[in-house]
């Protein structure tokens, strides 16, 4: 099976507004696909439809050869779709370790049955993202960058086969961005397929095998990094917006 | 991130103390609790009737607070429908014993079945609502149930039912104790099981929990049914003990409010908090009623308001976090909650 994810004709309307219109995209197994586009382009909405947070109004979604359309989010998590949220959704009153343990306890294939093993798995993921010393803290006591790291660790603890990353680098400084880029590469080397949404161009260029661009809810181009970033339509989408 | 104050709590430290010392503390704690239960079980043989009566009432309330703790404290759904489960449990026993002359335990099973089944159906319907909407919806249902039962012939209409008299306070006491212990052990299990962690995740961020693989609907409905089970059984014991029930008396929303106050006062989402809350608040109410008769409920209200202002996360949190500079804890609470 070449493609881990095949979305075809996905459309999402919010009342009058068409947030995503007729978008088709494939993600190959083991690749990192970059998803870029100006704010409000529909990137988060697209990811929401992939992991089941939102249901599309039209279109189909095939994950590892089976249609997952209509499956609730938790079932898609069991199939191996993990994600992070741009607007993070930690469990504020739980410790950092327990936050990640939930991913290990309930993630892919329904997760670990034993709390001890789940904690071990969670601890590894937290150490991996650099939160090894914060495991006993409450999640709501973490600062901004650490919250982003926790969001990533929670998704990793699910042992996903497909990882959807929604702006995990927003608000990080240069050094931190470098670290996350290296982390994401290592995750891919474990054989996990990844979709990254990012505004940090450096991250997109150094990570992505391919890039696709959303603008006003529609896919405008798809291709290698170099091609896409030179495409006049992409330049216009970005510069046209920036000049305003 | 600010959340409704009621459901906030600190989870147990993730590890406990590692190694032999941790195990020793845990063993010591377990022994202390076992001794406390044994002492409580022996109470009818040492104490007088007034004390035993008070004990029955406290133990039933502790069970109710613990039942509410499962859905309200752990899962984060502030139920006002628990008084319905209580009423169904009470009517299960009353109908079985009065209308069909069946033994008490069959009535308990009937009440349990009614309460749990009702919680399952209700849960599927209303557990998709959040926060206030859920609270209001369950509250409305409690009122509807009163009206329905008042018109059921088998339940004695609005006159109610008179149960056979059993003069054995000791039996009622031990039953109530057994049920309270069972409820507390269940909550203890919740606090350290995969299932319980799933419930806490739902409380802390339901959408996040679902995305990480928690089957939120299933977990919530099971939690609601578990909550209903203990509540219905408490209602059944109450009915046989009090020997007379009517719809207004057992589908009483005020009782639901009491469960919430006791659980929140003790510490929602903790293991022993609701039990301690039930004991302290019942004792306070008892003393105030004896001393002040008329103004008792006024003072009781003041006690609760003061408690909520100074320790909004309940006694369980207070005990764990008060530290050496005691007054500091209270001042900090007042400050952080901007009261
Ligand atoms: N729940 C929602 N209700 C209404 N409109 C929404 C909702 N979510 C997103 N939108 C709108 O859909 C469009 C795409 O949003 P989004 O997917 O968040 O964009 P991006 O992630 O690319 O910045 C925006 O115009 C946004 O305002
Ligand atoms: Mg977005």
Q: What number is the average pLDDT over the span B171-178?
A: 96
Other Cβ atoms closer than 10 A to B242: 14
What pLDDT was estimated at residue B290?
A: 77
Look at ligand 1, atom 8, and give the residue with the nearest C-alpha.
A45
Q: How many CA atoms lie within 13 A of B107 on its CB side?
A: 27
Q: Is B275 helix (H, G, I), strand (E, B) or coil?
A: helix
Query: What are phi and psi for residue B126, nearest 5 degrees?
Result: -110, -10
pLDDT at position A186: 95
Q: Which pLDDT does position B183 carry in this prediction?
A: 97
Question: Would you call B145 helix, strand, or coil by DSSP?
Answer: helix
DSSP 8-state assignment for residue B10:
P
Of B148, B147, B160, nearest in space to B95 by CA: B160
Shortest CA distance from A151: residue in chain B: B208
Instruction: Look at ligand 1, atom 26, and give the residue with the nearest C-alpha.
Output: A40
Angle subtended at Cα B143 by Cα B139 and Cα B146, rounded to the nearest 5 degrees? 140
Question: Which one, of B58, B117, B65, lies nearest residue B231 by Cα?
Answer: B65
Is A178 exposed, middle or buried, given 0-12, 13-18 or 19+ CB atoms closer than 10 A?
A: middle
User: For B239-281, what is each residue's pLDDT tens digit?
Assistant: 999 999 999 899 988 899 889 989 988 888 999 999 999 999 8
The two structure tokens encoding residue B285: 């109410």
Does ligand 1 have an atom closer than 6 angstroms to the CB of A44? yes
* Residue range B40-50, pLDDT digits in tens: 998 888 888 89
Amino acid B321: pLDDT: 74
pLDDT of residue B265: 87
Atom nearest to A43 CA in ligand 1: 22
Give residue B5's pLDDT band: very low, low, confident or very high (50, 70, 90).
very low
Q: What is the torsional sign of CA A201, A202, A203, A209?
A: positive
pLDDT band at A40 (very low <50, low <70, confident <90, very high): very high
Q: Which residue from B80, B82, B103 is spatially nearest to B93, judged by alpha carbons?
A: B103
Average pLDDT on B78-107 reads 95
A43 CA from centroid of ligand 2 (Å): 6
Strands B161-162 and A218-223: unpaired
Nearest ligand for residue A36 CA: 1
Mean pLDDT, range B70-91, rounded to an integer: 95
Residues of A in contact with B210 (CB under 8 A): 72-74, 77
Contact A135 B14 (CB under 8 A): yes
Minimal-distance CA residue of chain B relative to A114:
B194
Which fold does the domain A1-80+162-244 belong to in CATH?
Rossmann fold (3.40.50)
| Contacting residues of A for B212, CB less than 8 Å apart | 77, 82, 102-103, 106-107, 154, 158
With b meaning 16 or more CB within 10 Å and e meaning fewer, what string describes B69-78?
bbbbbbbbbb
- The protein residue with its alpha carbon nearest to ligand 1, atom 21, reads A44
Helix axis angle for B253-266 and B82-94, nearest 10°, is 120
Q: Give me the pLDDT at residue B145, please.
A: 86
Interface of chain B against chain A, CB under 8 Å? 1, 3, 8-11, 13-15, 192-194, 197-198, 200-201, 204-205, 207-216
Largest CA distance in chain B: 62
CB-based contact B213 A72, cutoff 8 Å: no
Q: Provide the pLDDT for residue B338.
A: 56
Task: Determine the average pLDDT of the residues in A139-167.
Answer: 94
Instruction: Report in angstroms the alpha-carbon separations of B317 from A95, B198, B270, B307, B334.
Output: 15, 21, 8, 12, 15
Cβ–Cβ pairs < 8 A, chains A and B: 99
The helix/strand/coil state of A36 is: strand
- Residue B301 above 90 pLDDT? no
Q: Report the gap between the CA of B210 and the closest CA in chain A (Å).
A: 5
Q: What confidence category does residue A209 fall into, taking pLDDT thresholds of 50, 70 and 90?
A: very high
Instruction: State how far Cα B71 lies from the chain centre.
Output: 9
Q: Tokens 């004709």 belong to which residue?
A: A9
Chain A residue numbers with beta carbons less than 8 Å from the beta carbon of B11 are: 93-95, 98
Helices (runs of H) and strands (runs of E) counted in chain A: 9, 10
How far apart are alpha carbons A202 and A157 in whole angstroms?
A: 26
* Listed residue (A196, A185, A209) closest to A28, CA to CA: A209
Of A94, A98, A96, A104, residue with least CA distance to A157: A104
Q: How far is B214 from chain A (nearest CA, A)?
A: 6
Q: Which residues from chain A sit within 8 angstroms of residue B214, using beta carbons? A: 74, 102, 106
Q: Dig out the tokens for B92 from the structure.
A: 């299960």
Does the pLDDT of residue B16 top 70, yes or no?
no
pLDDT for the residue B3: 39
| Residue A54, ligand 1, Cβ within 6 A | no
Q: CA A39 to CA A198: how far, in whole Å?
A: 11
Nearest bound ligand to the CA of residue A41: 1
Q: What tokens does B53 get?
A: 């009566």
Residue B173, both tokens = 């006491």
Q: Is A41 in the pocket of ligand 1 (CB under 6 A)?
A: yes
Percentage of chain B with pLDDT > 70? Answer: 89
> Residue B336, SS3?
helix
Q: Please check the confidence at residue A239 and state whether its pLDDT lies above 50.
A: yes
Return the pLDDT at B314.
75
Can you name the residues that pair with A13 across neighbouring β-strands? Answer: A18
Question: Please, what is the average pLDDT of chain A?
Answer: 92
> Which of A11, A34, A42 is the pocket-test mutation for ligand 1 (most atoms within 8 Å of CB)?
A42
What tokens were used for A206?
């150094």
More confident residue, B66 or A227: B66
As given in the structure block, the two tokens for residue B261 are: 């106050």
Six-digit token string for B236? 């059944």
Delimit the domains of chain A by residue range: 1-80+162-244, 89-159
Q: In chain A, what is the greatest distance between 2 CA atoms, to the nearest angstrom?
A: 55
Contact assessment for residue B181 and residue A73, using Cβ atoms and an 8 Å cutoff: no
Phi-psi region of B216 (alpha: psi -120 to 50; beta: other; left: phi over 0): alpha
Predicted confidence (pLDDT) at residue B319 exceeds the cutoff of 70: yes
Question: How far is A36 from A42, CA to CA, in rounded Å?
Answer: 10
Cα angle value B203/B204/B207 (rounded, 5°): 85
Q: Where are the alpha helices (DSSP H) in chain B?
A: 19-46, 49-68, 82-94, 104-126, 131-150, 169-191, 194-204, 206-211, 216-242, 247-250, 253-266, 273-292, 296-310, 314-321, 326-336
pLDDT exceeds 50 at position A188: yes
Cβ-nearest to A91 among B193, B208, B215? B208
Query: Rounded to the nearest whole angstrom, what is the distance from the C-alpha of residue A40 to the centroid of ligand 1?
Result: 6
Chain A residues with CB under 8 Å of a chain B CB are: 51-53, 72-74, 77-78, 82-83, 85, 89-95, 97-98, 101-103, 105-108, 110-111, 113, 115, 118-119, 135-136, 138, 140, 154, 158
d(CA B128, CA A151): 25
Q: Do A105 and B197 touch (CB under 8 A)?
A: yes
Domain spans, chain B? 51-253
Pairing of strands A210-215, A193-197: unpaired
Compute the C-alpha angle B228/B232/B237, nearest 5°.
155
CA distance A106 to B197: 10
Between chains, do B10 and A138 touch, taking CB under 8 Å as contact? yes
- When pLDDT is cut at 50, 70 and 90, the band that residue B188 belongs to is very high
From A11, A12, A13, A14, give the residue whose CB has the most ligand 1 atoms within 8 Å, as the site to mutate.
A14
Residue A69's pLDDT is what?
A: 93
Return the higher-pLDDT residue of B332 and A169: A169
ipTM of the complex: 0.93
Could you say which of A89, A107, A136 has the minimum Cβ distance to residue B213?
A107
Instruction: List beta partners, residue A195.
Output: A33, A164
What is the CB neighbour count within 10 angstroms for residue B138?
Answer: 26
What is the rounded CA–CA span in Å between residue A32 and residue A194? Answer: 5
pTM: 0.90
- Residue A215 phi/psi, 5-degree rounding, is -145, 125
């Amino acid at each position: 099976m070449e493609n881990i994810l095949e979305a075809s004709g996905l459309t999402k309307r919010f009342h009058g507004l068409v947030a995503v219109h007729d978008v088709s995209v494939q993600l190959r197994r083991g690749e990192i696909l970059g998803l870029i586009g100006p704010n409000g382009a529909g990137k988060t909405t697209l990811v929401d439809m992939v992991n089941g947070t939102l249901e599309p109004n039209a279109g189909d979604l095939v994950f590892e050869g089976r249609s997952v359309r209509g499956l609730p989010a938790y079932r898609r998590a069991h199939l191996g779709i993990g994600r992070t949220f741009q607007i993070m959704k930690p469990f504020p009153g739980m410790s950092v370790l327990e936050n990640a343990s939930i991913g290990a306890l309930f993630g892919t294939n329904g997760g670990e049955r034993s709390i001890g093993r789940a904690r071990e798995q969670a601890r590894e993921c937290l150490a991996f993202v650099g939160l090894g010393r914060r495991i006993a803290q409450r999640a709501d006591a973490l600062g901004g960058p650490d919250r982003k790291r926790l969001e990533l660790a929670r998704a990793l603890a699910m042992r996903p086969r497909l990882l959807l990353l929604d702006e995990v680098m927003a608000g990080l400084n240069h050094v931190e961005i470098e670290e996350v880029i290296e982390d994401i590469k290592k995750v891919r080397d474990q054989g996990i397929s990844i979709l990254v949404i990012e505004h940090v161009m450096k991250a997109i260029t150094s990570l992505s095998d391919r890039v696709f661009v959303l603008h006003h809810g529609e896919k405008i181009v798809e291709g290698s990094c170099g091609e896409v970033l030179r495409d006049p339509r992409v330049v216009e989408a970005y510069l046209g917006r920036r000049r305003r | 991130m600010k959340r409704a104050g009621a459901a906030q709590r600190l989870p147990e430290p993730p590890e406990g103390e590692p190694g032999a010392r941790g195990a020793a503390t845990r063993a010591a704690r377990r022994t202390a609790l076992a001794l406390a239960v044994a002492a409580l079980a022996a109470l009818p043989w040492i104490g007088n009737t007034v004390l035993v009566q008070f004990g029955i009432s406290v133990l039933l309330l502790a069970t109710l607070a613990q039942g509410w703790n499962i859905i309200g404290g752990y899962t984060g759904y502030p139920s006002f429908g628990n008084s319905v489960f209580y009423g169904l449990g009470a009517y299960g026993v009353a109908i079985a014993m009065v209308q069909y002359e069946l033994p008490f335990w069959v009535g308990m099973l009937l009440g349990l079945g009614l309460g749990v089944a009702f919680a399952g159906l209700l849960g599927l319907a209303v557990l998709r609502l959040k926060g206030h909407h859920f609270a209001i919806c369950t509250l409305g249902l409690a009122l509807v149930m009163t009206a329905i039962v008042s018109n059921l012939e088998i339940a004695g209409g609005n006159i109610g039912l008179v149960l056979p008299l059993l003069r054995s306070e000791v039996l009622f006491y031990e039953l109530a104790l057994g049920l309270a212990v069972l409820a507390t052990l269940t909550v203890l299990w919740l606090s350290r099981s995969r299932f319980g962690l799933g419930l806490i995740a739902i409380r802390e961020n339901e959408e996040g929990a679902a995305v990480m693989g928690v089957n939120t609907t299933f977990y919530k409905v099971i939690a609601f049914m578990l909550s209903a089970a203990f509540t219905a059984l408490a209602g059944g014991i109450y009915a046989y003990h009090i020997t007379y029930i009517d719809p207004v008396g057992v589908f009483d929303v005020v009782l639901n409010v009491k469960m919430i106050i006791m659980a929140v006062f003790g510490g929602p989402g903790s293991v022993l908090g609701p039990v301690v809350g039930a004991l302290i608040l019942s004792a306070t109410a008892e003393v105030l009623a004896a001393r002040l008769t008329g103004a008792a409920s006024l003072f009781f209200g003041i006690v609760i308001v003061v408690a909520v202002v100074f320790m909004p996360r309940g006694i369980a949190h207070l005990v764990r976090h008060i530290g050496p500079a005691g007054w500091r804890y209270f001042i900090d609470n007042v400050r952080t909650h901007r009261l």
